[in-house]
Each structure stands twice: as structure tokens, then as C-alpha cells.
A = this chain, B = another copy of it.
């Protein structure tokens, strides 16, 4: 099947190998393993409810084999700065709940059918309980945050939640709009993705009562990593590697979601190509063979590799943000995981 996939060889194989990348995540997992076991326990405990449908539906998503990258970042940040308390456990759980709440709502909003290789909750249980269980996880996240006893943490995470939803609405308003600039696109992905990565790291600095330089370094690491992560996600949506990750190739294309590969291709393209993008992404009048043609045009202008290069740029900034910290296991795992996030593209 993979041989006939239209998106094969679109994202060039260059640099790093899959094996190295896996090792980076494994190293981050190893550094955070003891704490992550507490987080997993807290996740299971806090998604319970006497209303059986809630843990059933939430568990379908939460137990579906996500990497738990965001809570891992909270734990790794705490480790990086030698935090010795227990408040990062609840906060890492809250971060994962906020993320999962947005996934449930996204799947309803996008009418998705597949996530992490499994049927989506909205497909199995319908939109009604999926929206409500998203709200439940969101509320539970706030309950967990309140448990941190830090008003500053609460400010950071509640503000992050507002910004995430603003980013998602902004994304809706840019859908089908080929005049979307790269700057506007960066604003969208910063809000919808990077702000939660940033908050996930920053809160560990706050509970560990670090100085402002440390807290803002953690914030910058998370934010830049989040931007890189989303850039790669958007490149992967046009890559056959996507299929191995349990998602459909070309979802963004079919929805007319304007991401950087298309923004660049539209600018770099000729009149015929612009007409093609207008018909398929703006008017969303698509026919057989359009996705294949889109992939060929993206490839011709090298916009997928350009997107990966942009990601590499933000990845470097993420790594540099960690320069102020003394070397330790957590630091090197956090640096390596930046490369993992980028090399997912290969």
C-alpha cells in the first residue's frame, strides 16, 4: 500500500534517522519515568465519575497511546531545575487534560473520524457526550490546577486556555483564505499549540520558586518547541509518514485548512497553480486526483522542506533557551526531544 501512496517522498529524507529520534523520546521518558507513573495514576483517578459514560469516553482517548509529551515537559522542566515537591504531578495532569479536552472538541468541530489510529469519540458516541466530556476534562483540569495552591500558576494556565480557544477561532476564520500570511499563520499556531507547551514548562519554574530568568527561559523553550512541533504536524499532514501515525493523509487539504506548505506554494506558484489552490482550498470544489496534484505542486516548490526548515529554526531557539541551565540528564533529554519533534517528519 505504502508504495502507491501519492504522498511518498514528498518530505525529503535528510538528516537524522527514525532510530535516533525514538531514542530521544525514550531518554525523556526515562528521565521522567518515576513522576510519569504518578501522573498516569492521577489521570486515571481524576477522570473518574459516577457517570460511567465519562471515564469510558475520556478513557478511549486518553488511553489511546498518545506520547503524553506535554505533561512530560512539565516533569522534565521540574527535574531540570531540581524541584523536589509534588505539585508538578497535578499540574502535568491538568496540562494533559486541557490538551485532551481540546482534542475532543476539535474532533467534533472537524468531524474527524480517526485519531491515533482509532475511531474518534464523536464517531462512536456522537457529538453530544463528546462536547460534554471535553468540558468535564477542562473543568477537572481547573480543579487540579487549584490544587497547586499557586495563583500565578492558575493565571498562566487559565490564560493559556483562553488563548488556545482564540487561536482555534482565528484558525477557523483563516480557513479557505489563501491571503493568510505566514505571520497570521504563526499567530494561529502559537496560540493554538505553542502557548500550552510554554505553560506546561513555565509552571514548573513557578512552583519551584525560581527567578524570572529561569521562568522565562522555560516559557521560551516550550513556546519555540510548540511552534516547531505544529509546523512539523502541518508538514506531516501531506506526508505518507502520517499514515503510519494513525491519521489520514490530506485532512487539511480536504478541509481547506490553510497551513504553511500551502501558504508558501500559493506565493511561489504560477497563475495556473493559484487557480488550482483557489478552486480546491478556497471554493473547496475538489475532485479525484486533486490531492495528488497538490502534493506534486508542494513538492515542486519545496514547501514541505521549507516548512521543516522553519521548524528547525524554532527548534534551535528552543534549545538555546536552555543554555542558561547547568548540564544534567533532564537538559540533554529536553534538547534531544526538540530534534525528535522535527525528525518525526522523516
Contact = CB atoms under 8 A, between A and B. Distances in A.
Contacts of A109: 127-128, 131-132
Interface stretch (A169-177, A215-223, A280-288): A169-177
A173 B169 CA distance: 30
A107 to B, nearest CB: 11
A105 interface: yes
Given A127-B108, A166-B49, A172 B132 contact: yes
A53 B21 CA distance: 40
Contacts of A161: 135, 138-139, 142
A53 B154 contact: no
Nearest to A108: B131
A168 interface: yes
Interface residues on A, range: 35 or more
Contacts of A102: 135
Contacts of A140: 162
Interface in A101-130: 101-102, 105, 108-110, 127-129
Contacts of A149: 151
A127 B169 CA distance: 12
A155 interface: yes
Contacts of A158: 139, 142-143, 145-146
Nearest to A146: B154
A136 B54 contact: no
A104 B250 CA distance: 31
A165 interface: yes
Given A143-B162, A151-B149, A155-B146, A168 B132 contact: yes
A18 interface: no
Nearest to A170: B51
Contacts of A199: none
A129 B108 CA distance: 11
A143 B158 CA distance: 5
Given A142-B142, A146-B154, A129 B51 contact: no
Given A54-B166, A143-B158, A146-B158, A105 B135 contact: yes
A159 interface: yes
Nearest to A150: B151
B166 A136 contact: yes
A284 to B, nearest CB: 14
A279 to B, nearest CB: 22
Contact of A169 (B105, B136, B170): B136
Contacts of A128: 109-110, 172
Given A149-B151, A151-B149, A51 B142 contact: no
A54 B146 contact: no
A133 B165 contact: yes
Nearest to A141: B158
Contacts of A135: 101-102, 105, 138, 161, 164-165, 168
A111 to B, nearest CB: 9
Given A146-B155, A151-B146, A158-B146, A132 B53 contact: no
Interface string A172-211: 1100000000000000000000000000000000000000
Across chains A and B, which 5 residue pairs bring their CB atoms closest together, nearest first? A139-B161, A142-B158, A139-B162, A136-B165, A135-B165
